[in-house]
Structure formats: structure tokens, C-alpha cells
């Protein structure tokens, strides 16, 4: 059914680069997990291990000039939109060389040059902001689209409903992209929703809704590319629900009592990276050895990031009261 | 010079700025052909069209979020809150997003937007449409808060607020909309953070905000008949606050009273009184600093009850007389 990988158009991206990005995300978050456990990072963090296909596929379907808004579980979005993992790691370690001079941390990384309008510590908080960014695109005829990432939990916030309606009535170029990883902290989608598919909520706002296997890079890419084309043509927003799974706990201190180890094992069998790796080998795009080299290259990049962060200074105390107001 | 109303002055400032700068636009509920709940935007959709005078659904969080997203990407939106009380339903966007984006992002972004918020009691609209919640917003680093007391100040301060690169909450008082003053036809700016001595006097410094400035002026005329010379200082902006002008006045008069419409407990006047007490003016005080504020009740509908819920001219006169006698 699917088109052979070699014949696909990935919006100008090298398919092996997408594979590399998925590893970069996984290894970044696994490294962060390890560093938290060792007490090398202060604060909190939310890891997206197991959810690597959604950010990579979604951002691959965007142009460099397009924008995203991200969430508290945003390291993957940030990397997929082109961020430098060294500056990300420095930010998590509270160093002045980080994306936000160490003032934001894991939940507030923004990379405006790459079109990342920022992660967000408030569930659903970024959704209306994405709508506003899309409004600028329309009013100033800038022709960029905005891809708005959020989780299943955010779709029970009022901001989700208000923002989808506003984007719909104004035909704004937004792709509302729900990463349904099955849990809002401990709240299972089975417990918190009466509907099977969150994408059904699109009907209420007069926009198309799509459900996609979030662990299938190609499937996610295809549905996002379609929504991007629609948005860019002026036809308005879409809602996409990508079903996936968060392998780790909600944040660093989660014992995962609300779910079974069997469930976790079943989802891990649908590992998005392993699935894509098999296809790359089966279709003769790359050998196992070549793919292992790509993984090793991502690992080295993460080691470089840690070393860069560890060797970076902390912000000075004079910086505490800077950046509150713009001049 | 011609006289125009406070409402006309606000409309004129917006219209003149919008003619000069295509990035400035207005969004809010019923601001189109209806002209806004208080008629402030009347005629504007006819001049600027529905793209720049954007009628929105009743979605305060999405309106605020859309303004933020637009501001973050280069626009200078003016958001009209139909009643300032409705800030409660836009609070996440204003407090957690607009106020903090610049700091969280390490100074890389700015959110130049204005929230116009009609506030105050006296219209019989009762508890949910009559509040003065400016202290909540003044408490949050990253926001600026403006409270014009007459038509001249309203035009100049609104121009400065639109030009400011930060989120500015612009409190308009509903009872002031029909009041007139001499207002230049050309566009002018009154810097934020510059208090105005509304009346010079030598016996007592009366710091008044918003509608209380008018009441203080009337009270001062009555007190002058008793030989009490009141100096009235209108800070005009709560954040930034021109405390220097207040302190220097108190040093000359030796007495300080603060009058504000908001509930006295925890109101912004408490901050002003504290700053005076902590300042070099303390040694010049001949009497304790006093505060007049609203009673600790929701604003009632019944006219006499409503009148008694907030300071009136006679309350100011009595308080100042008592203060003079004690010294």
C-alpha cells in the first residue's frame, strides 16, 4: 500500500536524516533521564522517549519558515524543528549558553530563529498563541503555517476549544497536532474521555479531523503534509490525532502505578524507530551497519552537547533582574 | 484646542496609530458594527475593515492568546476586554504567557500588546461587571498597568502603551467615557512611569488613581474653602510607578493620603503607602499615612449601596479634615 521509501518525496529532507533525528531525540532524552538520576540537572523534565516519530514526521512536512508551538514534553519538537542539542542541554543545566540563558529550563525552550515559538509549562497554553502566530501570517501575507503541538490532556482545557473555533472561523493556517500518548500525567484517556478518537472533536469546529498511527513516521508525514497543503492554500486549519505512547513516566518522580508493565511492553513492541529501521533495511535504503553508524553519530552529538553544557558558565547574578521588560 | 470625550480620545489614538502602522489592529467582542459595549470602537470597522477591527467570539482566553501569538510574530495588537472583570477568564494567557515570555526566553522575544479593560463601579452592573482588579496585574512582573484619569491622559498614554514593547493593561473607567477635556488633534505620547500633579497644594499629598482623581479634585475645592491646600498626584501608571514625584511631594507637605476605588485590602494603594513609608519622606511625616479604598464587599446593584461601596467626595473631604486635625 505504501509508496517505496526511495520514491517518496520527503519535502526535500534526506530520509536517513529523519532516522538520525529520531535517534537524536531518543538519546537526548535518555541522557537527560540519566543525568537527572545522578542529580546533575536541577528542576524537572518531561521525556518523550517512544514518541520520536511524531515530531520528526510533523516537522519534516514543514518549511523552515513555518512555525511551531510546543509543550512541556517538548525536547523532540525542538530537535525536530532544527535546534542545537548543545544549547538545549545547556538550558536544561541552567547555563548561560542555553537557549534562554538558563532562565527557562526544560519547559520553556524557544528557538525563534528556527520558528519554534516555545515550549509551554501550561497544558493547552500554547494553543491560542499558535492561532495568533497564524493570524500574523494571514494579515501580513507571510504565507507560513503554524503547527501546534499538544497532548491528549490539553484537549480537555478550554483554551483548546476556544482556539480551534477561532482558527476555524478565520480560516487560519494552523495544524492542530495532538500527540495522544494515552496519559495526561496519570489520567488515562480511557478514564478522561467518553470518545474513542480525540480527532472527532474537529467536527465541532468545522474542520477536518484525522487519526493516525503516531509511531509510523510515514503515516504521520503524509497526514501532516496534507494538512499543511490545506492550510497554506488558505482553506483553514485541521486537527490531527497521532496515537502514540510515552515510555517513561510523566516526569522524573513517576512510579507509573496507574498502568501495567504488560501495557508498556506491548507499546514498546511498536517502537517507531525500530519500525522505521526495518523498512529502511527491507527496502534496501541502508544496511544495518550504516544505520548503526547513524545511531552512533547521534550518540556522539549528545556527548558533545553534555560536554558543551558542563563546560559552560552559569548566568551571573546581575542577570537575575534582566529581561523582565523589553525596552 | 478642542474638547473631546475620554471615549473619543481613546478611539482617536487608536485610529491615528492604525493609519500610521499596519501592524496595529484591534480584536475583541462586539467591536465591529456594534462599536464595542461602550461604543469606543464605533466607526472603526467602517474605516479599517474587518481584518483590522476583528470581531471575535466570546472566548477571552483565545482572544488574549491570539493577541500574544500575533505580538510574538511582529504585530502590535490591541485587545478589548468587554469588561475588565473578564480578565479572570484570560488570566492564564496574560499572567503565565504574556508576562513571562520575554523572561522565560532569556530576553529573545517581546510581546508588544495592549489590553484595553473598562473597569470600575457606578453603572449598576453589580458584582461581576464593576470591579477594579488592577492590583492583581500590577503584582505580576512583566506586565505594565496604566490607569488614565482624563481624556488628555487617555490619548497620550494609549499611544505610549501601543508603542511599548511589553504587554500593557490599559484600565479605562466606564464613568469617565463621557467626560471631556482639551485634547490636541495631533498624536502625542505621555511616557509610562510619569506621574502628573493634577493640583498643587502645600498641606497634604493626595495620591489618587483612575476615577478617584476627579473626586479628589472636587474634594480639594471644598477643602480649600477651609484653608486646606491639597496636592493631588495622579501616578497615571501603576507599573512603572513614578514614586519619586510622590515622595518629593510628601516631603513638602508632611502628609500623605492614598485613595483608590479597588477593595482597600490588598489594593495598589497599599503598595503606594508602603513605598512612601519606606522612603526618605517618612521622616517628614506629621501624621500617619492613610488609605481610602473600596469596602470589602462585592459591588452591589442597588444605587445607594453601590455608591457607599467605594470612596466618594465626602469621604475624601472627611478623611483629609480628620488628618489635618490630628497633626
What is the number of helices (H) and of strands (E) in chain B? Answer: 12, 14
Q: What is the pLDDT of residues A102-142, one digit of tens each?
A: 999 999 999 999 999 999 999 999 999 999 999 999 999 99
SS3 (DSSP) at A149: strand
Asked whether the beta carbons of residue B75 and residue A136 sit closer than 8 angstroms, the reply is: yes
Looking up residue B175, the CATH number of its domain turns out to be: 3.40.50.970
Same domain as B265, residue B303: yes
Looking up residue B231, the CATH number of its domain turns out to be: 3.40.50.920
CB contact A72 to B (< 8 Å): no
Same domain as B258, residue B224: yes
Same domain as B126, residue B63: yes
Which position has the grid cell 492590583? B135
The total number of structural domains that make up chain B: 2
Cis ω for the linkage preceding B240 (within 30 of 0): yes
Assigned domain for B151 exists = yes
How many CA atoms are closer than 13 Å to the CA of B173, on its beta-carbon side?
A: 25
Assigned domain for B307 exists = yes
CB contact B112 to A (< 8 Å): yes
Asked whether the beta carbons of residue A165 and residue B96 sit closer than 8 angstroms, the reply is: no
Same domain as B104, residue B214: no
Of residues A114, A119, A128, A116, the one with CA closest to residue A45: A119
Asked whether the beta carbons of residue A162 and residue B144 sit closer than 8 angstroms, the reply is: no
Same domain as B168, residue B272: no
Q: How far apart are CA B313 and CA B217, in angstroms?
A: 9
Asked whether the beta carbons of residue B64 and residue A104 sit closer than 8 angstroms, the reply is: no
Looking at residue A61, its pLDDT comes to 98
Asked whether the beta carbons of residue A128 and residue B65 sit closer than 8 angstroms, the reply is: yes
Asked whether the beta carbons of residue B96 and residue A125 sit closer than 8 angstroms, the reply is: yes
Q: Distance of CA A39 to CAs A108, B101, B204, Å?
A: 20, 28, 58
Q: What is the pLDDT of residues B186-205, one digit of tens each?
A: 999 999 999 999 999 999 99
Q: How far apart are CA B154 and CA B143, in angstroms?
A: 18
Closest partner residue to A132 among B57, B68, B109, by Cβ?
Answer: B68
The contacts of residue A128 (CB under 8 Å, 6+ apart) are A159, A162, A163, A166, B61, B62, B63, B64, B65, B66, B68, B69, B93
DSSP codes of every residue in B79-106: EE-SSGGGGGGGHIIIIIIITTHHHHTT
Q: What is the CATH code for A11-250+257-312?
A: 3.40.50.970
Same domain as B176, residue B208: no
Which position has the grid cell 494538512? A227
CB contact B227 to A (< 8 Å): no
Which position has the grid cell 536524516? A17
B267 to chain A, closest Cα gap in Å? 23
Q: Distance of CA A233 to CAs A68, A148, A174, A228, B220, Å?
A: 18, 18, 11, 8, 63
Q: How far apart are CA A27 and CA A35, in angstroms?
A: 12
- Whether B173 sits among the annotated catalytic residues: the reply is no
Asked whether the beta carbons of residue B108 and residue A110 sit closer than 8 angstroms, the reply is: yes
Q: Which helix (H) or strand (E) holds B1?
A: none
Residue of chain B with shortest Cα separation from A146: B69
B124, pLDDT greater than 60: yes
Give the domain-ending residue among B182, B216, B247.
Answer: B182
Assigned domain for B101 exists = yes
Same domain as B177, residue B203: no
Q: How far apart are CA A241 and CA A212, in angstroms?
A: 6
Asked whether the beta carbons of residue B59 and residue A165 sit closer than 8 angstroms, the reply is: yes
DSSP codes of every residue in A60-78: HTS-TT-EEE--SS-HHHH
Judge contact between A85 and A34, C-beta under 8 A: no
Residues B215-247, buried b or exposed e (16+ Cβ, 10 A)? Answer: bbbebbebbeeeebebbbbbbbbbbebbbebbb
Judge contact between A193 and A32, C-beta under 8 A: no
Same domain as B165, residue B66: yes
For an interface test with A, give the residue of B73, B164, B240 to mutate (most A CBs within 10 A).
Answer: B73
Same domain as B153, residue B7: yes
Of residues B142, B106, B97, B108, the one with CA closest to residue A69: B97
Assigned domain for B102 exists = yes
Same domain as B205, residue B149: no
Judge contact between A105 and A315, C-beta under 8 A: no
Residues 146..205 of B with a Cβ closer than 8 Å to A: which?
165-166
Closest partner residue to B72 among A129, A322, A327, by Cβ?
Answer: A129
Assigned domain for B187 exists = no
Strand ranges for chain B from DSSP E = 3-5, 24-28, 53-55, 76-80, 113-119, 144-146, 167-173, 180-182, 196-199, 204-208, 230-234, 237-239, 256-263, 290-294
Same domain as B211, residue B156: no
CB contact B239 to A (< 8 Å): no
CB contact A195 to B (< 8 Å): no
Which position has the grid cell 513609608? B277
Cα separation of the two ends of chain B: 43
Angle between helices A217-232 and A53-60 (to 10 degrees): 40
Q: What is the ipTM of this complex?
A: 0.97
Same domain as B153, residue B39: yes
Assigned domain for B190 exists = no
Assigned domain for B32 exists = yes
B263 to chain A, closest Cα gap in Å? 28
Question: What is the pairing mode between strands B196-199 and B230-234?
Answer: antiparallel
Residues 102..131 of A with a Cβ closer than 8 Å to B: which?
102-104, 108, 110, 112, 117-118, 120-122, 125, 127-131
Of residues B161, B139, B136, the one with CA closest to residue B148: B161
B327, pLDDT greater than 70: no
CB contact A74 to B (< 8 Å): no
User: Degrees (nearest 5) of the Cα angle A157, A159, A160?
Assistant: 75
A21 to chain B, closest Cα gap in Å? 24
Q: How far apart are CA B41 and CA B30, in angstroms?
A: 9
Containing domain of residue B144, as a range? 3-182
Assigned domain for B270 exists = yes
Asked whether the beta carbons of residue A163 and residue B65 sit closer than 8 angstroms, the reply is: yes
What 8-state DSSP symbol labels residue A103? S
pLDDT in single tens digits along all 327 residues of chain A: 578 888 888 999 999 999 999 999 999 999 999 999 999 999 889 999 999 999 999 999 999 999 999 999 999 999 999 999 999 999 999 999 999 999 999 999 999 999 999 999 999 999 999 999 999 999 999 999 999 999 999 999 999 999 999 999 999 999 999 999 999 999 999 999 999 999 999 999 999 999 999 999 999 999 999 999 999 999 999 999 999 999 999 987 788 999 999 999 999 999 999 999 999 999 999 999 999 999 999 999 999 999 999 999 999 999 999 999 999
Domain residue spans of chain A: 11-250+257-312
CB contact B61 to A (< 8 Å): yes
Amino acid at each position: 500500500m505504501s509508496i517505496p521509501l526511495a520514491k517518496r518525496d520527503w519535502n526535500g529532507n534526506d530520509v536517513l536524516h529523519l532516522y538520525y533525528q529520531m535517534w537524536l531525540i531518543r538519546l537526548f532524552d535518555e541522557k537527560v533521564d540519566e543525568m537527572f538520576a545522578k542529580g546533575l540537572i536541577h528542576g524537572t523534565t518531561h521525556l518523550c522517549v517512544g514518541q520520536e516519530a511524531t515530531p520528526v514526521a510533523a516537522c519534516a512536512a514543514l518549511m523552515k519558515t513555518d512555525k511551531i508551538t510546543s509543550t512541556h514534553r517538548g525536547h523532540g519538537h525542538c530537535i525536530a524543528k532544527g535546534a542545537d542539542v548543545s544549547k538545549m542541554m545547556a538550558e536544561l543545566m541552567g547555563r548561560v549558553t542555553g537557549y534562554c540563558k538558563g532562565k527557562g529550563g526544560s519547559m520553556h525552550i524557544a528557538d525563534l530563529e528556527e520558528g519554534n515559538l516555545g515550549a509551554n509549562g501550561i497544558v493547552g497554553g500554547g494553543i491560542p498563541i499558535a492561532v495568533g502566530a497564524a493570524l500574523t501570517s494571514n494579515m501580513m501575507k507571510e504565507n507560513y503555517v503554524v503547527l501546534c503541538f499538544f497532548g491528549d490532556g490539553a484537549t480537555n482545557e478550554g483554551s483548546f476549544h476556544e482556539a480551534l473555533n477561532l482558527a476555524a472561523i478565520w480560516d487560519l493556517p494552523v495544524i492542530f497536532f495532538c500527540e495522544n500518548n494515552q496519559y495526561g500525567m496519570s489520567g488515562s484517556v480511557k478514564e478522561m474521555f467518553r470518545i474513542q478518537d480525540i480527532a472527532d472533536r474537529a467536527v465541532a469546529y468545522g474542520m477536518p479531523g484525522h487519526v493516525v498511527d503516531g509511531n509510523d513516521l510515514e503515516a504521520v508525514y503524509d497526514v501532516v503534509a496534507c494538512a499543511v497543503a490545506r492550510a497554506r492554500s488558505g482553506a483553514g486549519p485541521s486537527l490531527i490525532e497521532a496515537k502514540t505512547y510515552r515510555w517513561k513516566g510523566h516526569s522524573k518522580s513517576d512510579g507509573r502505578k496507574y498502568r501495567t508493565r504488560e501495557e508498556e511492553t506491548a507499546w514498546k513492541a511498536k517502537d517507531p524507530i525500530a519500525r522505521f529501521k526495518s523498512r529502511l533495511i527491507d527496502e534496501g535504503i541502508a544496511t544495518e551497519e550504516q544505520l548503526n553508524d547513524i545511531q552512533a553519530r547521534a550518540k556522539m552529538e549528545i556527548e558533545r552537547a553534555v560536554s558543551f553544557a558542563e563546560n559552560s558558565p552559569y548566568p551571573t547574578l546581575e542577570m537575575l533582574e534582566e529581561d523582565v521588560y523589553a525596552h | 484646542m478642542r474638547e473631546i470625550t475620554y471615549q473619543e480620545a481613546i478611539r482617536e489614538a487608536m485610529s491615528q496609530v492604525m493609519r500610521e502602522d499596519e501592524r496595529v489592529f484591534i480584536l475583541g467582542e462586539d467591536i465591529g458594527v456594534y462599536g464595542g459595549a461602550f461604543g469606543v470602537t464605533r466607526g472603526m470597522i467602517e474605516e479599517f475593515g474587518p481584518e483590522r477591527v476583528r470581531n471575535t467570539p466570546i472566548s477571552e482566553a483565545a482572544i488574549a492568546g491570539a493577541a500574544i501569538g500575533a505580538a510574538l510574530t511582529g504585530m502590535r495588537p490591541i485587545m478589548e476586554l468587554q469588561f475588565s472583570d473578564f480578565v479572570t477568564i484570560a488570566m492564564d494567557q496574560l499572567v503565565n504567557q504574556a508576562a513571562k515570555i520575554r523572561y522565560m526566553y532569556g530576553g529573545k522575544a517581546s510581546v508588544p500588546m495592549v489590553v484595553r479593560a473598562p473597569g470600575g463601579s457606578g453603572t449598576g452592573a453589580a458584582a461581576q461587571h464593576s470591579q477594579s482588579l488592577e492590583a492583581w496585574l500590577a503584582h505580576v512582573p512583566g506586565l505594565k498597568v496604566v490607569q488614565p484619569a482624563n481624556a488628555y491622559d487617555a490619548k497620550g498614554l494609549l499611544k505610549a502603551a501601543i508603542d511599548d514593547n511589553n504587554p500593557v493593561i490599559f484600565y479605562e473607567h466606564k464613568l469617565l467615557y463621557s467626560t471631556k477635556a482639551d485634547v490636541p488633534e495631533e498624536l502625542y505620547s505621555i511616557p509610562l512611569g510619569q506621574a502628573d500633579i493634577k493640583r498643587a497644594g502645600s498641606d497634604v499629598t493626595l495620591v489618587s488613581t483612575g476615577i478617584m482623581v476627579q473626586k479628589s479634585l472636587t474634594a480639594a475645592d471644598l477643602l480649600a474653602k477651609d484653608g486646606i491646600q491639597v496636592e493631588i498626584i495622579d501616578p497615571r501608571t501603576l507599573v512603572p510607578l513614578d514614586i519619586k514625584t510622590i515622595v518629593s511631594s510628601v516631603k513638602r507637605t508632611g502628609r500623605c493620603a492614598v485613595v483608590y476605588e479597588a477593595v482597600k485590602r490588598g489594593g495598589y494603594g497599599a503598595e503606594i503607602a508602603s513605598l512612601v513609608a519606606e522612603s526618605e519622606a517618612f521622616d517628614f511625616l506629621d501624621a500617619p499615612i492613610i488609605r481610602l479604598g473600596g469596602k470589602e464587599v462585592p459591588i452591589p446593584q442597588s444605587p445607594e449601596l453601590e455608591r457607599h461601596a467605594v470612596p466618594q467626595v465626602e469621604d475624601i473631604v472627611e478623611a483629609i479634615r480628620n488628618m489635618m486635625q490630628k497633626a
